[in-house]
Every structure is written in C-alpha cells, then in structure tokens.
Structure 1
Amino acid sequence: MILEETSYWESIADEWKKTRPDRLWRKHSDAINQSLLLRWLPEQPVPRLLKTDTFDEAVGEGLTRFLQARAHSVVGMDLSFKNVQLACRGEVRVRGACADVRDLPFQRESFDVVVSNSTLDHFQTLEEISVSLRELHRVLRKDGQLIVTLDNLANPIIAVRNHLPFKLLNRLGIVPYFVGATCGPRRLQRLLREAGFEVRDVTAVLHCPRMIAVLVAKILCSHTKPPAQQHYLRWLRMFERMSQWPTRYLTGHFIALRAEKRRISPDGEHDD
C-alpha cells in the first residue's frame, strides 16, 4: 500500500515538473501559506522544525526557504524520495527524510514545531488522520506547536466534491490528484484534543473561488507577461480579507489550526 502511494505521488510530481501546469497558482498558494505561518510561528527561530511533506517544494518554490528563517534546522519529509531530494537541493539547513506521517521514524520529542499543510487530507479514512496526529504529538517537544491545514469540509464546494467519484473529477480536470477524507473545523479540533493537543487558533484560508482562479492562472501564465501575472496575484490575495468574516468557514478552501502539545502531569494525565 505504501509503495503504491509513493509511486503515485512521484508520478504526479514528475508530471507537474515536466509541464508546470499551475506554476502561477502555486505562487499564490505558497504566499497564503507563508502569510499564515508569519502569524503563527514563534518570532524567534526554533531549534528544529518538521514539514510533513515536500510536494510544494517538488513542484514550485514551496516553503522550506521561508522556514529556514524560522528554525535553525528544518526537516522536510515525504513518502517520495524524489520529492525529498528536490526539497533539499541547495539548502544547507534542510534535511530530508523519506517517511510516512502515520508511522514516523523520529524519536519522541524531536521537534519544536511541526508544519503540516494539506498533508493529512490525502488519506482514505479519518482514522488515518487521527493516527497521524498522534504521531505528530509524539515527536513534538513539550509545549511544541503544530500548525496544520486540511481541506475544509464545512465549505459546501469541498463537501460536494468529496461525495463525487475521484476518477470523474480527475478526468474533468477539477482535481489534479487524489483528495481523501477530511473534516470541518469542529471535528478537527476534537481530533486534535483526542491526540493530546490544546487548540490555540482556528481560521480558514484561501477564499478565492479556486476552480475559476486556477483556470484563469493557467491562461495568464501562458498568454501574459509577468506584470499582469503579479497584478492577478495581488487581486487574489484580496480575497483573504474574508478570513475575518463570520462566513469564513463557508468560503475558505482550507481550515487552519494552531495547537500546542499539552504537558504531562506526574500521574501520566494531560494537564488542561
């Protein structure tokens, strides 16, 4: 099963590297993720930070260069060895690990911060998300922070998408790769608490109409010059004002949560 998943994601990354179909859209996606991390990461660099997949770095600029300013050591992991290699190329302070987030090879309390942006929403079941959260809790140090984003099931478009057959959506070009089980903000908060985390912040991000925005980005990337493309990216970022609205969980493509690992009391129970 793991070998099949690895082969699948390597083939997707290889195809994207050849054709670069969404490179303008990836810039917007990276900018949204960086903006979130600027708000939520500690101001001072932490000793060790884990990023739970390197697909962003395999198909675009990604986040590892940005994260190096926020951590003395960054570990980028992925099921795909090829993706890990690409993420680490030319980066002195980025180490790679070929690993499965459901069964991490790291020792307990190895990291101060974990960044997991849209890694856990590519599994078949919610149970696999729960298993992954428990593993991330295990490798975080006491009071360590987890920043996690998942496809937002409270968004009606995501809810409809997840009820339709993947092969049909993929054939129509609506989803470029497999999307799995996910949940809304309340359910994810519950899963985090069950895994031993204390939720500190919750929001929703990426509020532009994604399918239309990706299509327009492809057209602009092929037929316009950089100034027009930059103008489009600035326009897309204006949609993020909707993260302050009461309707943010209906419009945001991703739910984003910041959680801390709860301390363990002498009797082995989590302190509240």
Structure 2
Amino acid sequence: MMVLRSEILTREVTNYWEGIANIWQEKRPQKLWRCHSDQVNIELLSGWLPAMEHKHVLKTDLFDEACSEGIISSLSLPVKTTFGIDVSFSTAQSARKNNPNLQTLKADTRSLPIADHSFDVIISNSTLDHFKSSNEILKSLKELERILRPGGQLLLTLDNGLNPFVALRNALPFKLLNSLGIVPYYVGKTFRPARLYRALKKLNFEVVQVTGVMHFPRFIAVLIARVLEKYSNQFVHEKFLRYLMAFERLSKLPTRLLTGQFVAIKAIKKA
C-alpha cells in the first residue's frame, strides 16, 4: 500500500491525545463502561458486515483496542489485512501489542497518507466527533471516500446531535464537564442524522442504513459503573452489562434517532 500524502498532525493535537492515551493505558479507568461500549459496537458491526472475504479493512482510530478489548478481535471476518490508524503513536503501538495481526499507522483522518481505493471496508466509530469545526468532519469524510474502493462499505458512528443529552453536553463548556468528570476527554462538533446523511450523499455514497445506538444515558451509566467497579463483584458487573444492553432494543423503534446517543450509518461508495 503506497504512502502518497504526508501527515498534517499539529503538535498541540498530537501531544493532547498522547497525554490522554498515556493516562488511560496506565490507569485503565471506566473498564465496565468500556466493556459495554465494545459490546454495542460489536453487535452493530456484526449485523452490518456481510459474511464474505474482505481484502483490506481499516479502523479509523484505535482507542478501543488500546484501552479495552476493543472490537477488532471480536469481529469474525475473513480478512487479508486489518489496518488501523490513530493520531497517537502510543495508542497505535498499544493496540498492535494487543492485536498482533493488526497493522498500524500514526495518521490524521483529515489528510491520510494512504493511496486512493485502498480499502474494502472502513470502520469509523466515534472518530470524527472530536474536531473543533464541522469542516474538519467534512474533510475527514472526503478522505475516507477517497481511500475506499468503489462498492466498498463505510460503517460510521458519530455523537448524535439530535439526542437531548448529547445536545446539552455540547452546549456546556468542556472545561466544566471535564472538571466534573462527566467528559473524560475532548469532544467536538458533530452532526445530526439528517446532516450526516446529506454530507455522505454529496460524497458519492449510497446510504443504506441509519440507526441510533447506545440508548442508556452515558453519564448515568458511567457513574453507576464507577460505583459497581469499586464495590461489587463480577456477577453484578455482568448483570449490569445485560441491563444496559437491554436498552439497545430501542434501536428497533421509530424514536431510535432521538434516544440513541450515537447515530450509526452504513454507506456504500458508488462506482
């Protein structure tokens, strides 16, 4: 796979996410919550990915694989190459250590050093909702379209701007939310489902599925999980995880794009 473009990673952004990666890999906070997050993503992707061979699969960040079990090892797909990128070198390094067959690269989705039409499937779960501007999301989407082969699949999740809890969180100052422990790292601009749908349509994608996922309010779940991790046992943990997953049944209701804290889209690049 040829490298055609140079990375445009600013020192400020790189240093910030390196610092976050070091803290999470050392302290491993929110283990129980991360387990639920992985379960939701695995269930979604397992239902969306066809049971066929994919030559090259890309995941657009590796935070899950570095700080928890992640989703790559749990997706039973016949794949020739699984590739992952991350803005943090230590995150990419840790993810590869946990997944020996994973090929990794330090890269920024806004300007990818990857050749056109390189991948059959791109998995981007909550990668693009950490930018300061909407234009950066659009720029990243354009890059993902460029490196995806015609007929390839983009499986994308973003913070759902239509969800009341997400909308309230994004309206409040990050420093306040971070100091209260509600938001552990920077979250940025995002799109409502309709805007994301329009953006993908303009980029030569056919959107085939749209839904909402992670329906139990995140900040409440994180607080409960924090207490359970400290004061309960594995049996209680598993029961709590089953309770959270029961809320994913809301994905089948017409209100799914209101209750889901993430909008999830499956799109196919047109020939």
- TM-score range for the pair, normalised by the shorter chain length: over 0.9
Correspondence list, 1:8-157, <5 A:
8-67=16-75, 69-89=77-97, 91-157=99-165
Q: Which moved more, 1:82-91 or 1:72-81?
A: 82-91
Once the 2 structures are TM-superposed, how far is the Cα of residue 66 of structure 1 from its aligned partner?
A: 2.2
Q: Which moved more, 1:92-101 or 1:115-124?
A: 92-101
Q: TM-score, normalised by structure 1?
A: 0.94
In 2 relative to 1, CA 28–99 (structure 1 residues): closer, same or farther, beyond 3 Å? same
Once the 2 structures are TM-superposed, how far is the Cα of residue 68 of structure 1 from its aligned partner?
A: 6.2
Contact 1:118–1:151 (8 Å) recurs in 2 = yes
Correspondence list, 1:139-218, <5 A:
139-218=147-226
Q: Distance in 1 between matches of 2:116 and 2:24?
A: 35
The CA RMSD measured in Å over matched residues stands at 1.2
Contact 1:72–1:93 (8 Å) recurs in 2 = no
Q: Distance in 2 between matches of 1:200 and 1:92?
A: 33
Q: Structure 1: 5+ residue runs without aligned partners?
A: 264-272
Once the 2 structures are TM-superposed, how far is the Cα of residue 12 of structure 1 from its aligned partner?
A: 1.1
Once the 2 structures are TM-superposed, how far is the Cα of residue 45 of structure 1 from its aligned partner?
A: 2.8
Say if 2:264 is the partner of 1:247. Answer: no
Percent of aligned positions with the same letter in both sequences? 49
Q: Distance in 2 between matches of 1:189 and 1:196?
A: 11
Contact 2:96–2:104 (8 Å) recurs in 1 = yes
> How many residue pairs were aligned?
263
Once the 2 structures are TM-superposed, how far is the Cα of residue 60 of structure 1 from its aligned partner?
A: 0.7
> For 2:129, what is the secondary structure of its paired residue?
helix
Q: TM-score, normalised by structure 2?
A: 0.94
Q: AA paired with 2:39?
A: A
Q: Distance in 2 between matches of 1:16 and 1:22?
A: 9
In 2 relative to 1, CA 176–7 (structure 1 residues): closer, same or farther, beyond 3 Å? same
Contact 1:155–1:251 (8 Å) recurs in 2 = yes
Q: AA paired with 1:83?
A: T
